[in-house]
Structure 1
């Protein structure tokens, strides 16, 4: 596969216990073409090493190195997974010759494959353009089941990423692309954004959000003191869909927690509010797949952002199973 590389066993290292006390001892490196339907519950990590969309969106490039750094950081974390749960590194989707669209297509096919093989996919990026390929991978899988299930997108982010493409698509256009294609296919577009900042979205983006009936919570409300109300809104949104796809853009966090991102800001949200919301989403039983976007090791400080991403993943994998 042109836009794919097999998992790299060398990046999984850390303390050695010989008792599976750490995730690098637990993880299995399995190429996509060797994935089989498991007898046990299985989580599949897949990288999206592409920052072409960030480059097109005039952001800070470097996110193509994100997947490997997140995996390395996650491997050092303690393993509390049951022996009945499988954790797999299934390699990385890559972007060749600046062809972001081909990388998105490869990601879409990979996500569909993982879901068909009864895996829970977690995609690690990489620019937020990954959302377009990821969503369509879920959609193609659900369409193959011919059950007419609807997908709700929950995006933890400072940005709507609803820009209308001018010259080409980029990391700021994925959800507008999804909305446009949904309209053409006469499908509903169900999109909830948590942590939107007025200082990070221009007036036209708010107008587009209104036109598309996007639900969102502004950053000044996306705070721990309003958790009960936020969870009420999340639950109301989830009730309207059959499956939920969660995407976490690391640049939504304050740069105090996540300096290594494509578009940092000190005015972002905290990890605590995201963790609490994830508990609600996972508790619904509708979460089908998720991703973490915009990890940029080039600008990270003391591995803070990589550790944040890994901590979020650690929480998620130990909560879903």
Structure 2
């Protein structure tokens, strides 16, 4: 694969216990082509080292370094996984010479291959253009297994990312591109956005969301004291699909928690509400894959954003 980089063992360091007390002691650095078919629970961490989409979307570049920063933080965390659970770092999809579309194609192939081998993929970005390649990989896998299986996308984000790709795709277009693919195939576009901000989306984006029947929860409602109502919406959405793909854009969080992103804002949501929603999603048994987007180490403070991303991965890995 032209746009693939093997896992880096030197990312996985931390306190040594010789008892697998920490995730850097648990992880297996396994090249993508050597990943085995899982016999029991197995999690595969795959980087998407690309910020070309962010550059095209006039954002702050640096997310290309995001996957490595997240993996470094994950490695230092405690390991509470069952002894039979396998954790793989399988390296990263890279973007060469600005060819984001080729990177997305290889990401799609990698995700599909992981699912075929009964791995649970967690993709670490990278710009939010990761979502288009990730979706296509899941879709290819589902189509190969049984036609007609539906997928719902739940996006934790301040932005719809429904900009039209009139020229080329970018980090703001992935869900518009997915919607257009669904239209061509005459299938439903099932898209739920949690944390949308009015000060982060223009009128045309709200109109596009309305035209595409997007379900969304505004940031002023995406709060812990509305959790019961939010869970009602999430469950209603999940009940109408066979599988759920979750994507978490770190720039949806307040910059108090996530300063290291391409488009930081103090007006974002808090981590606890995301964890509680993930709990609901995972309880459905329909979560098929997950990614975390827009990690930008160049603007991080004390590694806060990388630690937040790592904590989200830690929670999903231990509770999926």
Deviations 1:52-91 (A, max 9, x none): 0000000000000000000000000000000110000011
Q: How does 1:108-119 map to 2 (within 5 A)?
A: 108-119=108-119
Q: Give 1:166 deviation, angstroms.
A: 2.9
- Please give the alpha-carbon distance, in whole angstroms, between the structure 1 residues aligned to 2:314 and 2:40: 19
Q: Counterpart of 1:64?
A: 64
Q: Counterpart of 2:243?
A: 243
Q: Counterpart of 1:287?
A: 287
Q: Give 1:119 deviation, angstroms.
A: 0.1
SS of 1:289 mapped into structure 2: strand
Q: Counterpart of 1:126?
A: 126
SS of 1:25 mapped into structure 2: helix
Q: Counterpart of 2:307?
A: 307
- Please give the alpha-carbon distance, in whole angstroms, between the structure 2 residues aligned to 1:267 and 1:40: 41
Q: Counterpart of 2:266?
A: 266
Aligned residue pairs total 320
SS of 1:154 mapped into structure 2: strand
SS of 1:121 mapped into structure 2: strand
Q: Counterpart of 1:105?
A: 105
Residues 1:297 and 2:297 are matched in the alignment: yes
Residues 1:184 and 2:184 are matched in the alignment: yes
RMSD value, Cα: 0.5
- Please give the alpha-carbon distance, in whole angstroms, between the structure 2 residues aligned to 1:191 and 1:147: 20
SS of 2:232 mapped into structure 1: helix
Residues 1:95 and 2:95 are matched in the alignment: yes
Q: How does 1:26-45 map to 2 (within 5 A)?
A: 26-45=26-45
Q: Counterpart of 1:193?
A: 193
Once the two structures are overlaid, the 10-residue window that deviates more, 125-134 or 158-167, is: 158-167
Q: Give 1:281 deviation, angstroms.
A: 0.2
Q: Give 1:168 deviation, angstroms.
A: 1.4
Residues 1:142 and 2:142 are matched in the alignment: yes
Q: Counterpart of 2:55?
A: 55
Q: Give 1:147 deviation, angstroms.
A: 3.8
Any runs of at least 4 consecutive aligned residues in structure 1 with deviations exceeding 3 A, and if so which? none
Deviations 1:75-131 (A, max 9, x none): 000000001100000110000010000000000000000000000000000000000
SS of 1:149 mapped into structure 2: coil
Q: Counterpart of 1:46?
A: 46
SS of 2:92 mapped into structure 1: strand
Q: Counterpart of 1:207?
A: 207
